[in-house]
Structure 1
Amino acid sequence: MTYLEWLKSASQVLTDSESPKRDAEILLSFVTHKTRTFLMAFSETLLTDEELIALDGYLKRRKDGEPIAYITGEKEFWSLKFKVSNSTLIPRPDTEKLVELGLDYLPKVPCEVLDLGTGTGAIAIAMATERPDCLFTAVEKNKDALILAQENASQIAANNVYFLQGDWYKPIKSRKFSMITSNPPYIEPTDIHLSQGDVRYEPRTALVSEDEGLADIKVIVQGATKHLNQYGWLLIEHGWKQGSAVQTIFKQHGFQLVETFTDYSGNDRVTLGRWFKP
């Protein structure tokens, strides 16, 4: 079977996927170690028996709904390649908006940044590669996720990111920062989307939060008042219907210049505010 024949066959199998052709291309590239450009240019290349056996296994996993990123063990984010596993959320393009805003609002001078619930380390590492003059501290409760984030930082050579294990602010004691970022759990436990798509395979502890999805956001905002420098910025990713509620939480805790920004699909996604203590 040729590359082209396998791609056509696989695309027909993955009818439940939002992007069957792209999924098939990723799997074929992963197994053959060839770029997408190569696959297209040499589409008549024959697959070996070993490659076909591997592809059959991966194709079945994808058809059953397992995310492509968990099958290949990697995901691109901010044009960087991150290792992923089922102990972490899969980095999503929407979160790049938080990175973009973080870089825009960072002071132009060297400073310290805290990333809470870092998962794969995507936010902290992406920002660190753009601002090597700043020091980033990334906190993660899950030990397996923390190890993965450390591997990502090493692989990407983000030497200005340091990692701590613990629950939100507990590991940092009394330290203060110029910016705090977080993509916390924000899906309410009864949300029907938890039984659909890729999130079925992702860790619920990284997805679900009580109090209509706002419990962890409230903890982060309240804690930020003790761990931000004067005029420091807090940036939080949240659900597309939570912008107004998150703004209210920010304002209740004394944050100024509170604003919600949309992701690249036009949905409310990131709320930020500046800390000021009279």
Structure 2
Amino acid sequence: MRHPSSGPGLPAVPDIAAALAWARTHIELIDARVLLRHVLQCTGARLVAYPEQRLADAEWAAYRALVERRAAGEPVAYLTGTREFYGREFLVTPAVLIPRPETELLVELALAHCAARRGVRVLDLGTGSGALAVTLALELDAPDVVAVDRSREALQVAMANAARLGASVCLVLSDWFAALGEERFGLIVANPPYVAAGDPHLAQGDVRFEPVTALAAGPAGLDDLAAIVGAAPRWLEAGGWLFLEHGYDQAAAVRSLLLDAGFAAIASWKDLAGLERVSGGRWPGRK
């Protein structure tokens, strides 16, 4: 990406075609289209159907500002304030991790688990934007979904998403299980931080703008995963399941953590890219 101050000069207030032509000299075309749709509050089909439509002065100024921020590396989701997840539009801010397609595997596993068991209580650890918790609350039949996060700012985003999408979710300010008392759940899901603290990718691309506390977890990226696996049995019902998203190369380590903690039926599941992205197991019950 090139900074908008370089390259071809700014056109006068342009039409849609000229605005996109200018933007694509600085950012990817797909991003240019998303940002222009956001400014014009229109569909992608309208951009194609009416390339001669001229932008208003305010629209052109707003679009230039967004293109400049994107050229500097700021994620598109933070610029538009939204990101799609499991077919729904979620609000996002720099206080939360941007929902990613691979996390939809957690949803699929949770739904498959709950299909044969009605009335399962679900816990989402580190809910962030609330994408997991809200999606499960909407997809499950009469669910009881609790979502926790240690960040007040993140919980505010999750609360806004639950309200706008009409989901019934109990949101709790908690450092993992700390504020849950003696509650028990039939299913626990989590997409915790799992990047190694020294990973160079933390200083690259969109990740630079996301909250590091939602990304990094110790020298090997396993600190939070280990903490959740070790503590989860206390809050799981007998026969309850724990599903954890993790890094593409961490499946074996997470399976080992689950085995050491006493879980049964331990397995890992692959995402659409063929990478082992989620691992989990069943808690056999207290002996």
- 1:66-145 equivalence runs, <5 A: 66-106=74-114, 107-145=116-154
> Of the candidates 1, 11, 20, which is equivalent to residue 7 of structure 1?
20
Question: Is 2:283 aligned against 1:275?
Answer: yes
Counterpart of 2:245? 237
Show the 5 A alignment for 1:167-182. Answer: 167-182=175-190
Instruction: Tell me if 1:224 matches 2:232.
Output: yes
Give secondary structure in 1 for the equivalent of 2:122. Answer: strand
Whether 2:162 is the aligned partner of 1:153: answer yes
> What is the distance in 1 between the residues matched to 2:271 and 2:49?
34
AA aligned opposite 2:145: F
Aligned equivalent of 1:205, options 203, 213, 216: 213
Give the equivalent residue in structure 2 for 1:194. 202
Cα deviation per residue 1:152-202 (whole Å; 9 max; x = unaligned)?
00000002x110001000111111100000000000111010011111000
Structure-1 separation of matches of 2:148 and 2:222: 19
Q: Which has the larger radius of gyration?
A: 2
Q: Shift of the alpha carbon at 1:211? A: 4.3
- Gapped runs of 5+ residues in structure 2? 1-13
CA deviation vs aligned residue, 1:44-85 (integer Å, no higher than 9, x gap): 211111111000100000000000011111111111111111
Identify the range of structure 1 (261-270 vs 68-77) with the bigger mean alpha-carbon deviation. 261-270
How far did residue 132 of structure 1 move? 3.7
Give % identity. 39
The CA distance in 1 between the partners of 2:32 and 2:255, in whole Å, is 41
Distance 2:106 2:125 in 1: 13
SS at match of 1:115: strand
Q: CA separation in 2, counterparts of 1:201 and 1:263?
A: 25
Are 2:198 and 2:219, in contact at CA under 8 Å, matched by a contact in 1? no
Unmatched segments (≥5 aa) in structure 1: 15-19
More helix by percentage: 1
Partners in 1 of 2:141 and 2:97 — Cα distance?
Answer: 25
Shift of 1:108: 3.0
Correspondent of 1:24 among 32, 56, 74? 32
- Distance (Å, rounded) in 2 between the aligned partners of 1:227 and 1:108: 18
Letter in 1 for 2:105: K
Q: Distance in 1 between matches of 2:158 and 2:141?
A: 18
Q: Distance in 2 between matches of 1:225 and 1:140?
A: 19
Q: 3-state SS of the aligned residue for 1:89?
A: coil
Q: Distance in 2 between matches of 1:111 and 1:270?
A: 20
Letter in 1 for 2:172: L
SS in 2 for 1:167: coil
Instruction: Name segments (4+ residues, structure 1) moved above 2 Å.
Output: none
CA distance in 1, matches of 2:200, 2:227: 25
C-alpha separation between the residues in 1 aligned to 2:271 and 2:55?
40
